[in-house]
C-alpha cells in the first residue's frame, strides 16, 4: 500500500493530499476511525468543489477507501491500511515533506497508547501478547476468500498427507479406528485385526460378504459373522449401508481425496454426549425472552440442542447402534428465580427424548449477589468455580465425559475452555457477538468503561477461548474477516492495545483452519410461512391480532392506533442501545410520509423504567418515550411490553404478514440475526441493518432489503419506496415474500447446521489425534493468561461484589 501512497504523492493529487491532511488536523479528534475518515474526506470533496467521481474514482479516493484508521501526531500522520480482507499494514506520512515510512506493529500500538493519553516512559514496560508463533507450524489457508472454510481446507490437507505419506497416516487412521468405544463396548474394529495390512485384507472379504446379502437385510442378522472377521458395530444398520461405508474406507486407503475422507470420517460414531455451555442470563423455555441478556442466544442454543439430538439419533441408527445420545445445556441456577424455572436444577427440553437444561448454582461468595440474576458484564468472578462445580455435575449426569463441549458467548466459551482442558475433550466456541466490535474505542478507553462493562476481563477471556478452541463456528464469513471495507469481529482481536494492561501483537490467526462458517436455522415447527393456514390456530391469530392492534391494557401495551388498517412496520427485540429500536422510532418520527401510510408496532421488553434493573434498558425506555412525545407519534405507534411464548412469537410474524406488513431490524450492529430468519421464513419482507450478518443473509432488493441504521432519512425513503411499489403493484409484496421464504429453506435450516457441526467435531477429532500436533505449548500459554491476567482481575471484581447488596 505504500506504493499507492507514493503514487498519490507523485501525481497531480499531491496538493489534494496536503489539503486533506490539513483538514484532518482541524478535527478535534486525534484518532479517527473509518466512519470519521469518510466523513472528513466527504467534507474535503465538498469544500474543494470536486466532481462526484473524485470521492471514489481518484487516487486519493482509493487510498481513503483502503484506510481503516488515522492517528494524528504533531509532525506526521499515521495510517492503518487494509489492502485486502484480513490483512493490515501500518505506515507514517511526514507532514512536512510527505515522506512515507513503514511502522512496526509495536510502534503502532505505542502510538495508540499515546493517543489515549498513556505515555510509556521507556521501552519494555508493557506486556505483549503474541499467539502467532504457536500457529507457525500449523497448516494455513492462503487466500482470504477461503477463511471460514476450515474443514474443507483441512480435508484437502489430510487427504494429501494420506497420499504423500501413506504409511504414516494410514497407520494413524487405523489406530484412530481402534479407539472408539461406547458404554464399555468396542466399536468398529476388534482385537482380531492387529495391523493395517490385516485391516486392508479383511476389508475385501467383508465387502464381498455383505455384497452377497440383500441390501435391506438388518445388521443384526449378520453381526456375529462380522465380529468373527474383526468388525464391530458402527459400520451400518443394513447390508447396503455397511457395504457403502466399508467401500468408502477401502477407497480412502487406496486413493485418498478430500471428499472421500470427509465422507468416511463423518460416518464414524464418535459423538454420543454433547454439552452446550451458556451461563449468563435467564436460560429457560418459558417466561425468559425479553429479559436482560436473554434473547437470540437462548433461542439458538435450545434449537441447536433439539436438532443435535435428532441428528445424532439418525446418525446412530444409520451406524447400526442403539440410538441413545444425550445433550446437556449447562447454565447457572438462579435461586431468586422471579417466576421463571431458573431455580430448577434439571429441566427437560420440550419435544426431545434426552435433552436437558442442567443448572449449576454459583458459589455463595455473597448471597445478596449470587442468588440473583447477574449481568453478563459482571459474571466473570464466578466462572472458574462454576466450571469446577459443573465438571462434577456433568460427569454424574452424563455418567462419563462428554465427547464435545460447545461454548456460547464470551463467558460460556471461557467455561468451555476450562472444562475441555480438565476433561481432555474437543472444544468448539460460538461467539454470537464479540463486544469489542460493538463499542468504538472500547479497547483504548477500557479503564473508563471497566466500571460498567469490565472489558479487561471480557477481551482477555475472548483471547483465551478463541485460541484454545479446537474449532470455531461462526454464522457468517464477515464475523471472522469482515468485508472489503469493514473489519471482522475476530479480526478486530488480531492487533490492539489496552493501555497500561497489555499490547496484543497477534491475538488470533484468521488463516488457521479452525474457523468454520456454519449458519444456524430456525425452529420450523414454530416459524413457518403465513400461507400455511392448516398449521395455524385461529384462536391464537385472533388473540395476537388484538394484542398487536387494539388491546387496551396499560400493563401490556402503550399507544392507541387511530387507523389500525395502515400497513404495519414491525420490529421485535430487546430494548438496548445496539438493537436500536429507538433509532427506528426516530426514523419513523422524522418521516410524516411514512406515518401517513404506516403504523409502527414494537415488541420490546418493559414499558416502565421503574420495572427494569438494567441500565441500558432504562435509558432506552426513557428515550423511546421522549421520541414519541417529540414527534407526536401518539395514535401512530404501539409498543408492547410483553414476554411472548415461543409459539406466540412465531404467530406474531404471521399476523403482521396477513396485513402485508414489513419487518424492520434496525440494529447498529448484528452479529447474525435470528429474528431476520424468523421473519423471512414467515413470509415477511424484511429490512435489516447492513452492519453484520444480515449482509450475508439478505440479497438486497431480491429477497429483502439492507439499510443503514445511522441514516434515518435514507432508511425512511427506502421503506417508502417499497410501500409505493406495493401500492402500485400488489404482487410486488408477494414476490419479495416468496423469495424470502425460499432463501431460508435453501440455506438456513437446523438440519444443515447440525449435520455440519457434527462433521466438524469428527474431522477435528481425527486431526487432533492424527496430526499429533503439540498444542500443549499453546494451552500452557493460554493458561498463563488465565492465571496471571484474568484471575487476579476477576478476584478484584469479586471483592467489589462483596460490598454490594445486589448486581444491577
pLDDT band, residue 3 (cuts 50/70/90): confident
Determine the pLDDT at residue 35. Answer: 87
Residue 378: the pLDDT is 96
Q: Which helix (H) or strand (E) holds 567?
A: strand 567-572
pLDDT band at 233 (very low <50, low <70, confident <90, very high): very high
pLDDT in tens, 12-40: 999 999 999 999 999 999 999 998 999 99
Give the pLDDT band of residue 773 (cuts 50, 70, 90): low
721 CB-near residues (< 8 Å, 6+ apart): none
3-class SS shares of the chain: helix, strand, coil, % to 5: 50, 15, 35
Asked if the model's pLDDT at residue 290 lies above 80, the reply is no
The half-sphere exposure of 45 on its side-chain side, counting CA atoms within 13 A, is 18
State the pLDDT at residue 803: 87
Single out the residue of 758, 755, 769 nearest to residue 271, CA to CA: 758
- Amino acid 301: pLDDT: 96
Contacts of 362 (CB under 8 A, 6+ apart): 332, 333, 370, 374, 382, 385, 386
Q: Which three cell numbers stand for residue 604?
A: 420490546
CA diameter of the chain: 87
Residue 387: the pLDDT is 98
User: In what side-by-side order are the strands of the sheet with 426-430?
Assistant: 346-348, 355-361, 326-333, 273-277, 404-408, 426-430, 471-474, 515-517
Q: Cα dist. 145→424, 471, 517, 741, 797 in Å?
A: 33, 18, 12, 28, 41
Domains annotated for the chain, with CATH where assigned, are: 2-103 (3.10.450.330), 150-179+189-231+235-265 (1.20.120.1230), 273-521+753-802 (3.40.50.2000), 533-748 (3.40.50.2000)
566-570-709 Cα angle (round to 5): 115
Model confidence band, residue 120 (pLDDT cutoffs 50, 70, 90): low
Q: What is the pLDDT of residue 287?
A: 86
382: exposed, middle or buried (Cβ count in 10 Å: 0-12, 13-18, 19+): buried
Stretch 197-214: mean pLDDT, rounded?
95
Contacts of residues 11-14 at CB distance under 8 Å and 24 or more positions apart, as own/partner, are 11/59, 13/58, 13/59, 13/60, 14/98
pLDDT one-digit tens code per residue, 163-188 = 888 888 899 999 999 999 998 899 99
Q: Percentage of the chain surpassing pLDDT 70?
A: 98
Average pLDDT over residues 304-314: 97
Q: Of 167-171, 417-421, 464-468, 579-583, give the lowest mean pLDDT range.
A: 167-171
Whether 503 has a pLDDT exceeding 90, the answer reads yes
Least confident of 312-326, 506-520, 718-732, 759-773: 759-773
485 band by pLDDT with thresholds 50, 70 and 90: confident
pLDDT, position 772: 62
* HSE, side-chain direction, 13 A CA sphere, residue 433: 23
Closest by Cα among 510, 481, 613 to 153? 510
Query: What average pLDDT is seen over the chain?
Result: 93
Amino acid at each position: 500500500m505504500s506504493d499507492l501512497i507514493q503514487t498519490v504523492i507523485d501525481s497531480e493529487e499531491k496538493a489534494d493530499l496536503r489539503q486533506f491532511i490539513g483538514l484532518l488536523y482541524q478535527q478535534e479528534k486525534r484518532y479517527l476511525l473509518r466512519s470519521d475518515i469518510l466523513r472528513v474526506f466527504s467534507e474535503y470533496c465538498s469544500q474543494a468543489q470536486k466532481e462526484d467521481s473524485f470521492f471514489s474514482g481518484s487516487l486519493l479516493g482509493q487510498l481513503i477507501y483502503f484506510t481503516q484508521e488515522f492517528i494524528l501526531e504533531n509532525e506526521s500522520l499515521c495510517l492503518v491500511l487494509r489492502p485486502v480482507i484480513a490483512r493490515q499494514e501500518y505506515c507514517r506520512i511526514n507532514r512536512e515533506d510527505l515522506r512515507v515510512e513503514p511502522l512496526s506493529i509495536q510502534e503502532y500500538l505505542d502510538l495508540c497508547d499515546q493517543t489515549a493519553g498513556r505515555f510509556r516512559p521507556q521501552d519494555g514496560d508493557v506486556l505483549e501478547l503474541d499467539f502467532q508463533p504457536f500457529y507457525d507450524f500449523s497448516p494455513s489457508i492462503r487466500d482470504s476468500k477461503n477463511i471460514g472454510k476450515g474443514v474443507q481446507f483441512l480435508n484437502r490437507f489430510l487427504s494429501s498427507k494420506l497420499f504423500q505419506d501413506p504409511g504414516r497416516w494410514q497407520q494413524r487412521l487405523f489406530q484412530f479406528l481402534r479407539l472408539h468405544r461406547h458404554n464399555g463396548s468396542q466399536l468398529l474394529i476388534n482385537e482380531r485385526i492387529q495391523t493395517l495390512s490385516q485391516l486392508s485384507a479383511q476389508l475385501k472379504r467383508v465387502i464381498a460378504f455383505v455384497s452377497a446379502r440383500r441390501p435391506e437385510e438388518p445388521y443384526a442378522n449378520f453381526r456375529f459373522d462380522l465380529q468373527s472377521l474383526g468388525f464391530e458395530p458402527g459400520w451400518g444398520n443394513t447390508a447396503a449401508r455397511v457395504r457403502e461405508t466399508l467401500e468408502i474406507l477401502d477407497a480412502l486407503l487406496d486413493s485418498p481425496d478430500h471428499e472421500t475422507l470427509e465422507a468416511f470420517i463423518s460416518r464414524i460414531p464418535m459423538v454420543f454426549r454433547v454439552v452446550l455451555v451458556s451461563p449468563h442470563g435467564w436460560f429457560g423455555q418459558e417466561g425468559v425472552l425479553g429479559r436482560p441478556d436473554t434473547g437470540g442466544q437462548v433461542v439458538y442454543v435450545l434449537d441447536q440442542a433439539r436438532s443435535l439430538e435428532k441428528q445424532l439419533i439418525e446418525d446412530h441408527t444409520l451406524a447400526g447402534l442403539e440410538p441413545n445420545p444425550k445433550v446437556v445445556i449447562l447454565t447457572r441456577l438462579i435461586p431468586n428465580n422471579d417466576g421463571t424455572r431458573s431455580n430448577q436444577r434439571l429441566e427437560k427440553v420440550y419435544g426431545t427424548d434426552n435433552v436437558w437444561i442442567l443448572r449449576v448454582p454459583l458459589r455463595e461468595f455473597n448471597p445478596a449477589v449470587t442468588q440473583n440474576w447477574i449481568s453478563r458484564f459482571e459474571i466473570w468472578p464466578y466462572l472458574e468455580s462454576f466450571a469446577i462445580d459443573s465438571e462434577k455435575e456433568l460427569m454424574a449426569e452424563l455418567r462419563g465425559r462428554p465427547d464435545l463441549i460447545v461454548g456460547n458467548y464470551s463467558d460460556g466459551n471461557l467455561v468451555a475452555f476450562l472444562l475441555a482442558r480438565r476433561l481432555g475433550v474437543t472444544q468448539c466456541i460460538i461467539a454470537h457477538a464479540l463486544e469489542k466490535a460493538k463499542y468504538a474505542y472500547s479497547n483504548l478507553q477500557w479503564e473508563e468503561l471497566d466500571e460498567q462493562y469490565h472489558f479487561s476481563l471480557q477481551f482477555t477471556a475472548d483471547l483465551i477461548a478463541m485460541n484454545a478452541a479446537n474449532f470455531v463456528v461462526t454464522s457468517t464469513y464477515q464475523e471472522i474477516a469482515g468485508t472489503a471495507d469493514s473489519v471482522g469481529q475476530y479480526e478486530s482481536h488480531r492487533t490492539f492495545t489496552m493501555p497500561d494492561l497489555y499490547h496484543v501483537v497477534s491475538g488470533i490467526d484468521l488463516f488457521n483452519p479452525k474457523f468454520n462458517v456454519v449458519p444456524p436455522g430456525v425452529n420450523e415447527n414454530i416459524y413457518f410461512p403465513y400461507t400455511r393456514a392448516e398449521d395455524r390456530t385461529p384462536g391464537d391469530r385472533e388473540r395476537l391480532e388484538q394484542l398487536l392492534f387494539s388491546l387496551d391494557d396499560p400493563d401490556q401495551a402503550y399507544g392507541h392506533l387511530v387507523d389500525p388498517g395502515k400497513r404495519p412496520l414491525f420490529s421485535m427485540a430487546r430494548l438496548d442501545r445496539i438493537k436500536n429500536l429507538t433509532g427506528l422510532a426516530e426514523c419513523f418520527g422524522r418521516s410524516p410520509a411514512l406515518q401517513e401510510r404506516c403504523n409502527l408496532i414494537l415488541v420490546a421488553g418493559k414499558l416502565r423504567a421503574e420495572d427494569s434493573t438494567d441500565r441500558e434498558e432504562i435509558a432506552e425506555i426513557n428515550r423511546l418515550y421522549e421520541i414519541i412525545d417529540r414527534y407526536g407519534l401518539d395514535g401512530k405507534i404501539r409498543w408492547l411490553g410483553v414476554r411472548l411464548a415461543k409459539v406466540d412469537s412465531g404467530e406474531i410474524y404471521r399476523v403482521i404478514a396477513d396485513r402485508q406488513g414489513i419487518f424492520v431490524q434496525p440494529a447498529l450492529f448484528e452479529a447474525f440475526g435470528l429474528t431476520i430468519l424468523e421473519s423471512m421464513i414467515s413470509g415477511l419482507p424484511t429490512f435489516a441493518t447492513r452492519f453484520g450478518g444480515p449482509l450475508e443473509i439478505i440479497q438486497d432488493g431480491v429477497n429483502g432489503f439492507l439499510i443503514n441504521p445511522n441514516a434515518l432519512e435514507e432508511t425512511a425513503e427506502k421503506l417508502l419506496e417499497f410501500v409505493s411499489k406495493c401500492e402500485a403493484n400488489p404482487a410486488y409484496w408477494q414476490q419479495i415474500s416468496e423469495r424470502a421464504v425460499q432463501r431460508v429453506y435453501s440455506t438456513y435450516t437446523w438440519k444443515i447446521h447440525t449435520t455440519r457441526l457434527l462433521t466438524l467435531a469428527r474431522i477435528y477429532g481425527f486431526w487432533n489425534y492424527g496430526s499429533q500436533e503439540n498444542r500443549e505449548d499453546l494451552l500452557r500459554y493460554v493458561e498463563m493468561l488465565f492465571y496471571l491476567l484474568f484471575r487476579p482481575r476477576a478476584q478484584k471484581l469479586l471483592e467489589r461484589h462483596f460490598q454490594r447488596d445486589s448486581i444491577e
